[in-house]
Amino acid sequence: MPKPVGRISSRRMRRKIPKGVIHIRASFNNTIATVTDVRGQVVSWSPAGACGFRGTKKSTPFAAQTATENAVRTSIDQGMKQAEVMISGPGPGRDTALRAIRRSGVVLGFVRDVTPTPHNGCRPPKKKRV
């Protein structure tokens, strides 16, 4: 029986990425920061829950700041110098996450709000009768 041909190198390979995209997903319950390269492959990511915040503390601006700092720090270690920021969602961690990115020393190309807005999409639930 022939041996299966697969990847031999380690899974967590250190790539040099000079430019990246930082995606901030700020919901009302959590904030997730994801750093990708320009092709969209994830380099590092950090939700507020992984930083030790649980329950309602995950939805605070401080939790969003900590999560963003963690994600950006690991990508800076891999050589990221420039970044573009995509912010999505209505949560309380939007501004604080952006401030954390500005403080990290990464040169920002642009900051874009990519929150999806419905063009009168779903039908609302029926009104309550009392």
**Average pLDDT score, the chain:** 88
Residue 121, token pair as written in the block: 């999409």
Stated pTM of the model: 0.81
Residue 25: predicted pLDDT = 94
Residue 34 near residue 45 (C-beta atoms within 8 A): yes
Share of the chain above pLDDT 70, in %: 88
CA distance 25 to 23: 6
Q: How confident is the model at residue 46 (pLDDT cuts 50, 70, 90)?
A: very high
Q: What is the average per-residue pLDDT within 121-126?
A: 92
47 vs 16, residue with greater confidence: 47
**Across 4-13, 29-38, 67-76, 106-115, least confident range:** 4-13
User: Which 3 state secondary structure label does DSSP give 55?
Assistant: helix
Q: 91 — phi, psi (to 5°)?
A: -70, 170
Residue 29, token pair as written in the block: 């319950």
Q: Going from the N-terminus, what domains does the chain have, and what CATH number goes with each?
A: 33-113 (3.30.420.80)
Whether the pLDDT of residue 125 is over 90: the answer is yes
Residue 17: predicted pLDDT = 83
Whether the pLDDT of residue 24 is over 90: the answer is yes
Whether the pLDDT of residue 2 is over 80: the answer is no
